[in-house]
Amino acid sequence: MRPSSRLRILLLTTLLAAAAAVLLVVSGPAYADPGTAPADGVWPLDPRPEVVSRFDPPETRWGAGHRGVDLAGHVGQPVRAAAPGRVTFAGRLAGRGVVVVDHGETRTTYEPVAAAVAVGDTVHAGATLGRLELFASHCFPRACLHWGLIEGAEHYLDPLTLVGAGPVRLLPLDGGEPPVARLPTLTPGNLSATVGSGPRMRLAEGLP
C-alpha cells in the first residue's frame, strides 16, 4: 500500500472517531434539565460524598432505571436538606425511612433516613433531616443515601445539578449554544482539510 493511501486511511479513522465522540458529548442527556430546581444547593452528606451510582432515568414510566443518585455514607451520619423548603413527608414506606422536602415546583427525597423532622417543618439548606440508616440501602452491605429530585408529579431530574456536579458537556467558547454534530461527507479532496476543523470548545460541568 502506498504511503499516501495509508495516510488517508489513518486520517479517515481519526476523523470518524472524533466525530462520534463529539456527537455523544454535545448532544447531552435530555433528562439533565434542572428545570425549576432550587439554586445553590448543598450536598446532603458532609464531607462531600462519593457518588456510588448516578442518575439513569427509565425510558418509560414503569421501565428499569435509577431515579436518583446514591451517595456513600456511614450509619448514623447526619442527612442534610439540599435546599430550603418544607417537610411534606417524614416516616416509613415499606420499612425504610423516607424524608421529602418541598421546594415549590420541585421536591427532594432522602432515604433510608431515620427522620429527625416532622411534616410541616420548615428547613434551611444544610439543616439536619435525620440520620442515615442501613436498612434498604441501595449499596448494602454498605450504607448509602438515595437522593432524588422531582419536578411536578413524576418528572425526575438529576439531583447532582443542585450542587453543580451534573453531566459534563462541551460548549462553544463564545458562550453560544452547542452545535449539532454532523458527520461530514468525506472525499479524498476534503479529508485533510476537515481534520481538526470546527468550533473551539470548553468544558462545562453541571449543565443540562
Do both 54 and 14 map to the same domain?
no
Q: How many distinct helices (H) and strands (E) make up the chain?
A: 2, 13
Task: Give residue-wise pLDDT tens across range 49-63.
Answer: 999 999 887 666 655
90, 172: one domain? no
Looking at the structure, do residues 8 and 89 belong to the same domain, yes or no? no
* 159 and 173 belong to one structural domain: no
83/107 same-domain check: yes
Better-scored residue on pLDDT, 40 or 72: 72
Please state the domain count of the chain: 2
Give the chain's mean pLDDT.
74
State pLDDT tens for residues 66-88: 689 999 999 999 999 999 999 99
What pLDDT is attached to residue 177? 52
Range of the domain at 147: 32-163
Q: What is the spatial distance between Cα 66 and Cα 167, in angstroms, rounded to a whole number?
A: 15
